[in-house]
Amino acid sequence: MSINTEINRLLNFAIQQNLMQATDCFYSANKLIDLLHVAEFVPEKVDETLETATPILENMLDYAVAEKLIDDTVNERDLFDTRIMDCVMPRPSEVIRKFRADYAESPQLATDNYYKLSIASNYIRKTRIDKNIVWKSNTDYGALDLTINLSKPEKDPRDIAKAKTVKATGYPKCLLCRENEGFAGHAGHPARETHRIIPLDFRGHQWFLQYSPYTYYNEHCIVLNSDHVPMKINRDTFENICDFITEFPHYFVGSNADLPIVGGSILSHDHYQGGHYTFPMELAKVEKKYKFEGFPDVEAGRVKWPMSTLRLRSENRKQLIDLAEKILAAWRKYSDESVGILAETDAPHNTITPIGRRRGKAYELDLVLRNNRTSEEHPLGIYHPHEEVWHIKKENIGLIEVMGLAVLPARLKTEMAQVKESLVNGAESIEGIHADWYKKIRAAYQNITADNVDKIVDEEIGKVFSKVLEHAGVFKRDEKGMAAFDKFIASI
């Protein structure tokens, strides 16, 4: 391998992907030879087209390891390949200027090109994400989405040891802060030198648009507050959601709840998640309609969904937001001991996970009722996956799961392979956390073969995820629970 050839290949890739212009070649080449400790650059003709820069970067990283520029660990390689890609990246102002020019033509063109840049820059590590196992499973609530997340590599013990030596600075304050743009990273913080964010304005306050580096679905974006302030569901939340889907009508956007257990992984920084994807929840039908006095322009109804969801739709944005605010205020203080719902004990428990999208000219809000109370029987949360499903999913149910996409742990790849092998071989039982589930599958199917075992296990995992969502629903999907849902609606 010639490092000079790899530099020429990377320059060719960057020009093809519109990361840089041909006139930038020597500037970028000189940055690369400095980073790689190479004495000179010699132009070479390159005739190839690649989907991502990964093959080139892997060769460059192997060179860096051989030359002892970095240690051969995942984190060291990630930090260094981000520095490499930054040598061929446009500056933030150039990205913003391009985005705005594209937006003037169409919002979708702007996001399309911005997303392509995020992949081409290797900020979104598509090669890793493509390793995720993805499928759909038919349930009583429609086809649910499931993915076994394999895109996050296991941590190297050497990286863990090095992270302990990094001096804590508190800069950036968290992974969502706008100060991450261009940050070199270290053993305890991912590199963000290829990170580019787009400024947005919601009623005079600055927000930023970026894509998630982990993209669990198409064009998985994050809308982050310019200020490092905690998550809070209130009227501003509904206003911001409507502002965003006004500017980007081809995207949905939603917010995690603002309380522990039912909230997301980062409650310390106000943000939303959105994207260009149709989730199973969006396809779910309204099973019962409601009327709210004083809101004649708003259609409302209970969604046929495992979690307790109220859908509002209207072309009258003000009425929609006014009603959403009224429902939130009512739910914050609502208790019904007959079905175990308490608004407050030692702390407030009720909140909402809101999701917004456009339906033509109309705005649509799904308001998912949440409660984060715990008990002796369910110490991780009464409306959290119960112990019977922990063998598949134990983590909190955040926005993505609420909408019908299960993000499952990487361990399931190996564990499900073992389950399938035992099923095909006709084993009566297995050891471990899947033992009870295995017996149920064995009892439910008479003829399990190598040809049908994948479909059977995938469908059974889908049934478990459906149950996970039912556990997270504050009103159960039986007659008593639905009557209690109606009782809450009547109280508003």
- How high is the mean pLDDT in each 10-residue block of the chain (492 residues)? 96 98 98 98 97 98 98 96 98 98 98 98 96 96 96 68 70 96 94 98 98 95 97 98 98 97 90 98 98 98 98 98 98 97 96 98 98 96 96 95 96 97 97 97 96 98 98 97 98 96
**The token pair that represents 310 in the structure block:** 């109220």
Q: Give Cα 112 to chain centroid, integer Å.
A: 18
Q: What are the backbone dihedrals phi and psi of residue 458, each rounded to the nearest 5 degrees, phi first?
A: -60, -45
Q: Contact 351/233 with Cβ under 8 angstroms?
A: yes
Distance CA 207, CA 177 (A): 11
Residue 456: how many CB atoms within 10 A of its CB? 16
pLDDT value of residue 169: 80
**The token pair that represents 110 in the structure block:** 């702007």
Shortest CA distance to 406 belongs to which of 260, 299, 306? Answer: 306
**The token pair that represents 334 in the structure block:** 């609502």
Residues paired with 202 in a beta bridge:
205
Q: Contact 223/198 with Cβ under 8 angstroms?
A: no
Indicate the Cα dihedral angle 395, 368, 335, 233, nearest 10°: 90
DSSP 38: -
pLDDT value of residue 160: 62
Q: Contact 211/115 with Cβ under 8 angstroms?
A: yes
Residue with tokens 């598949």: 392
Q: Specify the pairing of strand 405-408 against strand 142-148.
A: parallel
Q: How far is CA 467 from CA 35, 351, 354, 402, 463, in A?
A: 52, 21, 21, 12, 6
pLDDT value of residue 11: 98
Strands (E) located in 190-335: 198-202, 205-211, 221-225, 252-254, 271-275, 286-290, 299-303, 309-314
**The token pair that represents 450 in the structure block:** 């190598």
Instruction: Burial-class residue 62 by CB neighbours within 10 Å (0-12, 13-18, 19+).
Output: middle
pLDDT value of residue 263: 85
Q: Contact 35/113 with Cβ under 8 angstroms?
A: no
Distance CA 392, CA 413 (A): 11
pLDDT value of residue 170: 87
**The token pair that represents 127 in the structure block:** 């090669």
CA angle 246–248–252, rounded 5-degree value? 95
Sign of CA dihedral 66, 68, 73, 76: negative
pLDDT value of residue 162: 66
**The token pair that represents 45 in the structure block:** 């003709």
Q: Contact 221/113 with Cβ under 8 angstroms?
A: no
Give the side-chain half-sphere CA count within 13 A for 270.
Answer: 18
Q: Contact 195/123 with Cβ under 8 angstroms?
A: yes
Distance CA 492, CA 300 (A): 13
Q: Contact 315/361 with Cβ under 8 angstroms?
A: yes
Task: Report helix, strand or coil for 361.
Answer: coil
Strands (E) located in 91-225: 133-139, 142-148, 198-202, 205-211, 221-225
